[in-house]
Structure 1
Amino acid sequence: MCLNSFFISVFLSFCIAANAQDTTLVELDSFIKQKDKFDQEKRKRIDKLENNLQQLKEGDLEKKYTTYLALYEEYKTFDFNKAFEFSNKLEEVAALQKDSVKIAYSKMKKGFILLSSGMFKETFDALKSVNANSLTDSMRAEYYFLTARSYYDLADYDKDQYFSPRYVEKAGLYIDSAGYLCNENFYRYRYFQGLKNLKLGNITLASDILNKLLSEEDLSYSDYAVIASTLSDIYIQQNNTQRAIYLLAKAATADIKASTKEAAAMVNLAQILYQKNDVKNAYTFINAAMDDANFYGARQRKVQVSALLKVISGVKVNSVEEQRRVLTRFVLALAVLSLTIIAFAIIIYRQLIKLRKADRVITKANESLKQTIVKLNEADKIKEEYIGYYFNINSEYLDKLALLKKSIASKLEKKNYDDIKIAIDKINLHKERENLYLRFDKTFLQLFPNFVDEVNKLFKEEDQFILSSNQELNTELRIFALTRMGITDNDKIAHILDYSVNTIYAYKNRVKNKSIVPNDKFDDYLMKIRGV
C-alpha cells in the first residue's frame, strides 16, 4: 500500500513539473510576440535621454558625462554598437575633465560591452588599461567582479584541462578581492559567491546561495534573468532538465521584459530543448535568439547563435516526420481498424496527387498544343498565300515569256535581227525585280499588317523605321520579313534580294545594334509577331 502511494506521488510530481514547464514555454512564446512593446518602452527612455543631451551646453562636461553614462546603461544589453559608441564618449569627456576616476570607470564600462560581445582579447586589453587604484571602493569592487566574470567566460569558452582551471582560479581571487570592498549582503557579491562555488564544484552551496537570491522580491528583470540562467546550469549538471528548462524560460522572459538583446538564456534554452528532441520549441526560440543577436549587432554573438540555428533547422523537418510516425503508432495502439482507414486515406491521397499532376501535365500539354495549332494555322495561311503568290508570279512571267518567244520567232522569220535586239533591250530586269519585291511586300503585309509597327517597338523613337508613301517595306524590313517567314539562312536571303552575303550581315548588324533588345534575342522577338 505504501509502495503504491510512493509511485503515485512520484508520478503526480512528474506531471506537475512537466505541466509547469509547458506553461512556462507557452508564456515565453507569448512574450516573444510582445517584444516590440517592451522595446518601445526602452526607446522612449533612450529618446528622452538623447533629447536631454541635445539641450546641454557645449561646456557642461559633468552633465554630458552623466547623460552619456545613462545612455550607455540603456544600450549595453540592447545595442552593441551604440553602447560601444557611448563608452568611447564617456572616455572622451572624462579625459576632457582630467578626472582619473571617471577615465578608469569609462574604460571599465568599455570592457563590459566588449565582454558581452565575446571579444576576449579586447576585453582584457581594456581592463588592463584601467587604473584600479584610482577607483572608489564600490567601483573597484565592480571592476573585480567584471574581471572575474571575464575569466569565467574565457574558461567556459576554452573548456580545456589546462587553461580553464587557471582562469577559474584567477576569477575566484578577483571575487575574494571584491569581497573586501563590499558588504556580504550586497546582491552582486552574493551572486558571485554562488557563481564561484558553482565553478569550483560546490553545487549544493551554490544552489542554496542562488535559490535564496532568486526568491527575493526586489530583483530587477535583468538580475532575475542572470540568477535564473546561472542556476539552470546546476540543474543541468544534476540532470534535472525540467527544472533547468523552467528557469531558462523564466530567464528568457525576464530578458524580454528588460529588452535585453545579448542574453544567452534563450540560446541555452533552445539548445537543451533540441537535446530533448523538442525541435518545434527549440526552432521557435533559436529564431527569436537569432533576431536578438542580429538586433544587438555583435558579430561573435551572431556566429554563436547561427551555428546552433543551422543544426536545429537541419533536423526540424525530420522531427516533424518523427512526430507523425509516433502519432501513427499511437493510433495503431488504439485500434487496428484505424490503420485500414489511414491506409485507404493515403492511397486516395496519393491517387489525388497523381491525378492533380496528370491534370497539370494535360493542361500544360493542351496549352502547348494550342500554341502549336496557332502556329500551324499561321503556317498554313502563309503557305496558301505564298503558293497563290508563287503561281501568280510564274503565270505572269510565263505569259511574258510566251509573248517574247512569239515576237522573237516572228522577227527571226522576217530576219529583222535589229528588232530582236531592241525587243531584248526593252526588258528592264531592275524594274522587274522591283515589281517582284513590291508584290512580295504587299502579300507579306496582308499576312502581317502590324509588322512595321511591331518591329518599331523594338527601337527608340529616333531609330524607328519611317517609310515613304510609295514604300511598303524597305530593304532592312524586307530582310527581317523573310526571317519572320522562316528564311533564316543569310545565303538564301542574299540570293532572293540579289545582295552579297556580307551586305546582308551588315544590314542585320546595323539594325540590331540600334535595337533596345539584346542582339541574340532580336530574331526571337520577330518570331513572336502574330499574323492576321
Structure 2
Amino acid sequence: MKYILKVLVLLLLVTGVYGADNDTLLDRLNKTIEAAPVFDAGRIKQITAWRQALHRAERADPTIRFEICRQLFEQFKVYQYDSAFAYAQQMQALAHEMNNAELSSYAGLKLAFVLLSSGMFKETGDYLADIHVALLPDSAKAEYYQLKSRFYYDLADYSNDGFFAPAYTRMGTACTDSALMLFKPHSFDYDYNYGIRYHKAGNIDSAQYYYKLTVAHTDLTWHQTAIATSSLGNIYIRRGHMDSALVLMARAAMADIRSSTKETTAMFILAGLLFKEGDVKHASRCIEYAVADASFYGARLRKVQVSAILPIIEGEKVNTVEAQKKLLFVYAAIVTLLLLALVWLAVIIFRQIRKLKAAQEVITAAHARQQEINELLMEANKIKEEYIGYCFQLNSSYIDKMTKFKKTVEQKLIDNKYGEAKFLVNNIDLREEREELFRNFDRIFLKIFPQFVPVFNSFFREEDQIRLKDNELLNTDLRIFALIRIGISDNVKVAQILGYSVNTIYTYKTKIKNKAVIPKDEFEERLMEIKAL
C-alpha cells in the first residue's frame, strides 16, 4: 500500500508539472546548470580530502591505503574516467602487494565498471573474465552480476541487429536474475534491476511498474534519483508520452548535476526531447552541456551518442539568423558601400585612361612631322600599359578582399558570433587602405619614372631638396607632381585622389614652386620633360 500511494503521487507530478509550469521547470534546469560549478566544487573538496589522506597514509598498512583508493574511486567513477581508472589500478596493485585474491577480484570489478562506462567493451570483458566470483562477498557478487548484465545489455544496444543483439540480451537477463537473488527485496537495486529486466525483455508495462516503485523510494541519493527518473522517462518516450518523459528527464538531468555526475545520458536525451518540442534554445544549451560532460569524463560511447543530436545547434543557428535579419542587412549595407567606393575609384582611374588614349590619338596624327610628339606618344603608351595593369590588379585585389570579407561576416552571423562580426566591420582601417593605395601608386610610378626623384630634386637648391624617410618611396609633395607628370593636373582631382582639400593641394604646389631655382612658368614644362624608362 505504501508503494502504491507513492506511485500515485508521482503520477500526479509527472502529468501536471510540464503542462502547467513548463517555464518554471526549464528555469529550474537553467539555474541548476548555472550552479553546476558549485556542486562540482563539493565533489572536488571530497576528492582533495581523500587525496590528502592517501598522501598521509603513504607508509600505512596496505589495507588502509586500499580503502582510501576505493573511496577515491567512488568519487571519480561517474566524474572522470582517467582518475577512476588510475585509482582502481592502485587498488589492484595494493591487493597484489597483500597477496589478497578477494581484494584483487574486487579491484578488477571496479576496473571493469569504469572501462564499461567509457565504452571500452573488449577491455571490460577481459577484466570480467578474470574475476573470481566465488571469492567475492554477496554484496560484491551482486555488483558483479549487475555490472555484467549492463555489459551485455550495452553490447546488445551497440550491435542493434537481429543476430547478436538477442543473444546479448539473453545473457544480460541471466546475469540480472543472478543479481536479483542477492539483492534485498523491495530495495532500490531490487526494484531497479527488475525494471531493467522487463525493459530489455520488451515487457513495458512491468518495466514501468518497477521503475515507478524505484522512483517512489524516499531515501534515494541524487545519483539514484537520476538513474530512476531517467529510466522511467525512457519508458514514457517509448510509449510516446513526451510531456511526462520531458519532466522526468529534466529531473534526472538536475539530479546528475547536483551529484556532480559526468557519465550520464539524461541531459542529451532531454536535448532531443526539447528539440522535438520546438524549444531549440533550451535544447541547444542542454546538448552543449552534455557534450562538455562527455568530454570531461572521457566517455567514448557517450560522445558517439551525443554527436547524433548535434544538428540541434545548427537548427538554432538558422533560427537565430532568421531573427537577426535586420542586423545582417546593416552589415551587408556597409560592405556594399565599401564596394561602391571601390567602383567610384575605378571610374576615376578609367577616366584618366580615356584621356591618355585621346592624347595617344593626337600624338599619332602628328607623328610624321614631329619626332618629339612621337616620343611623348611612346611614353604615354608606356604609362597607359603600366597603369591599366595596375588598375585591373588593384581593383581585382580589392574586389577579392571585399568578397572574402563579406563571406567572413556572413559566416560569423550564421555561427551566431555577432560580436566577432561587428569587430571585423569596426576593424576596417580605411586610412591603412588609402596608405596601401599610395604605396602601390608609388611603386608603379617609380617603375615608369625611376629617375623622377633625383631629377625633381635638381630643380631646387640642396637645402630645399626633398629628403625621403626610410622605406618611403614618395611623399605627399612628390606624389602631387607625380600625378601631374602622368597627366592629372586638375587640383580637384588631385585632391580627391590624395584625400586633401583643393586649397591644401594648391598650397603645396605654390610652396614647392616658390623654392625652385627655375622660373615658375617653366616649372611644369620641365617637370613633363622627366623621361620614362
Q: TM-score, normalised by structure 1?
A: 0.63
| In structure 2, distance between residues paired with 1:371 and 1:113 | 61
User: How big is each residue's C-alpha offset from its partner over 1:445-495, in whole Å with a ceiling of 9 and x where there is no partner?
Assistant: 9433533xx69xxxxxxxxxxxxxxxxxxxxxxxx99xxx99xxxxxxxxx
Letter in 1 for 2:317: V
Within the candidate set 450, 455, 469, 1:450 is matched to 469
User: 1:4-19 alignment to 2 at 5 Å?
Assistant: 17-19=18-20
How far is the alpha carbon of 1:96 from its aligned partner?
0.9
| 1:78-97 equivalence runs, <5 A | 78-97=79-98
When residues 361 and 141 of structure 1 are mapped into structure 2, their CA distance, relative to the original with a 3 A threshold, is same
Corresponding residue number in structure 2 for 1:55: 56
Tell me how far apart the structure 1 counterparts of residues 307 and 280 of structure 2 sit (CA, whole Å): 16
Structure 1 residues without counterparts, runs of 5 or longer: 1-12, 326-344, 393-438, 456-479, 487-532
Distance 1:369 1:159 in 2: 64
* Partner of residue 312, structure 2: 312
- How far off is 1:75 after superposition? 0.3
Counterpart in 2 of 1:132?
Answer: 133
Identity %: 31
Shift of 1:276: 3.5
Report the alpha carbon displacement of residue 307 of structure 1 after superposing the two structures with TM. 4.2
The 1:51–1:361 alpha-carbon spacing in structure 2 relative to 1, beyond 3 Å, is same
**What is the distance in 2 between the residues matched to 1:289 and 1:171?**
27
Change (3 A) 1:134 1:27: same
How much has 1:15 moved relative to structure 2? 8.1
Does residue 29 (structure 1) correspond to residue 48 (structure 2)? The answer is no
Amino acid at match of 1:157: Y
The answer on whether the counterparts of 1:91 and 1:103 sit within 8 Å (CA) in structure 2 is yes
Take 1:172 and 1:386, find their aligned partners in 2: how far apart are those partners? Answer: 97
Secondary structure of 1:245's counterpart equals helix
Q: CA RMSD in A?
A: 3.5
The answer as to whether partners of 1:107 and 1:130 remain within 8 angstroms in 2 is yes
Distance 1:300 1:200, change over 3 A: closer
Q: Distance in 1 between matches of 2:441 and 2:241?
A: 76
- Counterpart-to-counterpart distance in 1, 2:328 and 2:306: 40
Deviation (angstroms), 1:118 = 1.1
CA contact (8 A) 2:18 2:246 kept: no
Say if 2:15 and 2:244, in contact at 8 Å, map to a contact too: no
The unaligned stretches of length 5 or more in structure 2 are 1-13, 346-429, 480-533
Q: 1:435-514 residue pairs with structure 2 within 5 A?
A: 446-451=465-470
Distance in 1 (alpha carbons) for counterparts of 2:204 and 2:107 = 35
- 1:101 is matched with 102
The equivalent of 1:275 in structure 2 is 276
Q: Which residue number in structure 2 is paired with residue 193 of structure 1?
A: 194
* Alignment length (residue pairs): 373
Distance 1:376 1:198, change over 3 A: closer
Q: What residue number does 2:46 align with?
A: 45
Cα separation, 1, equivalents of 2:84 and 2:334? 57
- In structure 2, the residue matched to 1:235 is 236
Whole-Å separation in 2 of the counterparts to 1:373 and 1:211: 78
CA distance in 2 between counterparts of 1:235 and 1:447 reads 87
Q: For each residue in 1:160-207, what CA deviation from the matched residue of structure 2 results, as whole angstroms up to 9, or x when unmatched?
A: 122222222111111211222232123212110011111112222221
Structure 2 CA distance for partners of 1:53 and 1:278, relative to 1, 3 Å? same
CA contact (8 A) 1:20 1:246 kept: no
Measured in 2, the distance between the counterparts of 1:376 and 1:146 equals 76
- Asked if the contact 1:21–1:245 (Cα under 8 Å) also holds between the matched residues in 2, the reply is no
Question: Shift of residue 386 of structure 1?
Answer: 3.9
Identify if the C-alpha distance between structure 1 residues 386 and 116 changes in structure 2 by more than 3 Å, giving closer, same or farther: same
1:19 Cα deviation after fit: 3.4
- The match for 2:154 is 153
Give 1:315 shift.
2.4
Deviations 1:232-282 (A, max 9, x none): 111011100111111111101000000000111111111222334432222
Q: Hey, what's the Cα distance between the residues in 1 that align with 2:247 and 2:335? A: 48
SS of 2:309's equivalent?
Answer: helix
Q: 1:79 to 1:313 in 2, by over 3 A?
A: same
Q: How far did 1:23 drift?
A: 2.5
State yes or no: 1:257 paired with 2:258: yes
Quick check: which has more Rg, 1 or 2?
A: 1
Q: Deviation string for 1:88-113 (max 9, x for gaps)?
A: 00100011111111111110011110
